[in-house]
Amino acid sequence: MRSSLAFVPDVDDSLAAAIEDRLERVEERLREVVSTSDTMARWTSRHLMDAGGKRVRPLLALLAGSFGDLERPEVVDAAVLVELTHLATLYHDDVMDDASTRRGARTAHEVWGNSVAILTGDFLFARASALSSSLGPEAVLIHARTFERLCMGQLHETVGVGADEDPFEHYLGVLSDKTASLIASAGRLGALQAGCPASIADTLARYGEKVGVAFQLADDVLDLRSDPASSGKTPGTDLREGVPTMPTLLVRRRVAAGEAGADAHRLVELLDADLTDDAPLEAALDLLRRDPAVDQTELMAQRYADEAVAILHELPAGSVRDALEHFTQSLVRRSV
């Protein structure tokens, strides 16, 4: 797996060395925590882990821990806890989305079937819960509340927007629960396990809420613009499943307001039709990629990132805060 710091430029050398050292330990601990004598569970639980990933959440936990005592082994375990929870959600998400690839590899449900994939996600949640208990009751509560938000975000995405709800507020709420909640917890847990004051942990959690939404909005853009071979994602999965994204919401709003041209009207027709076959899906993707809604979503992601950076300015100045600023901008400007 490539270094998680590879996409975060200009990090202080001594801080980078300390973080890299602990990221290696995170990889070791991930495998230790999911170790089992059961042959099937051993293969399935390491399927996505071995496929790699950016390790965004553990990296944030370690950076947050750098405001305190990064030497504490509990900081590494906090990083492992959030990544293990994230991996568990991916097994479930891929089943619900019927995604065929993840991180450039076949998804677990494609290899072993839906039931095995779901049960593997449950197994990882169980191991994450056990790990949280070793970090103390506060960590258990934080993890439980985060797990609840992850479930509610998926539920609200699945059920869809209500008749009296604003679709944009609904979508941003889904992003906040499904993505930002765990990123916020990474910041909070990393700081607390490093012995930081509650005020610093609270600030990092508020930062994580903002940067998590920015991250997912940037993902909406990345899903349309990236090369599947490098991103490891299947373009158009959300479109095929009828799941809203910010670009499609923006297109629909223009059409509803009578401010759209023929291409946007055609795109909405396709979005409301059956996209099971590849041809109409590719047509919808082509129209959406050329629509100004994609640039608008990119600007929205940058606004959330700027708000996140503003929150960081409440933290002590220095190399750690600088690294977090670079981390923030890299998340919204990444190409994979």
At 271, the pLDDT band (50, 70, 90 cuts) reads very high
Q: What is the DSSP secondary-structure string of 100-157?
A: SEETTEE-HHHHH-HHHHHHHHHHHHHHHHHHHHHT-HHHHHHHHHHHHHHHHHHHHH
User: Is 80 exceeded by the pLDDT of residue 10?
Assistant: no
pLDDT, tens only, 217-252: 999 998 888 776 665 566 777 888 888 999 999 999
Q: Give the pLDDT confidence score for residue 2 in this predicted structure.
A: 44
User: Is 60 exceeded by the pLDDT of residue 214?
Assistant: yes
Q: Give the global pTM.
A: 0.92
At 45, the pLDDT band (50, 70, 90 cuts) reads confident
- Of the ranges 52-61, 143-152, 169-178, which one carries the lowest mean pLDDT score? 52-61
User: Is 70 exceeded by the pLDDT of residue 196?
Assistant: yes
3: nearest Cα among 56, 46, 45: 56
Distance, in Å, from the CA atom of 115 to the CA atom of 182, rounded to the nearest integer, reads 25
Q: Give the pLDDT confidence score for residue 170 in this predicted structure.
A: 97
Q: Give the pLDDT confidence score for residue 247 in this predicted structure.
A: 97
CATH class of 12-226+309-333: mainly alpha
**Which tops the pLDDT comparison, 302 or 9?**
302
At 67, the pLDDT band (50, 70, 90 cuts) reads very high
pLDDT, tens only, 73-102: 999 999 999 999 999 998 887 777 667 666
Distance, in Å, from the CA atom of 16 to the CA atom of 163, rounded to the nearest integer, reads 49
Residue 251 neighbours by CB under 8 Å, 6+ apart? 260, 264, 267, 268, 271, 288, 291, 293
The tokens for 132 are 């949280």
The structural domains of the chain, with segments of one domain joined by +, span: 12-226+309-333
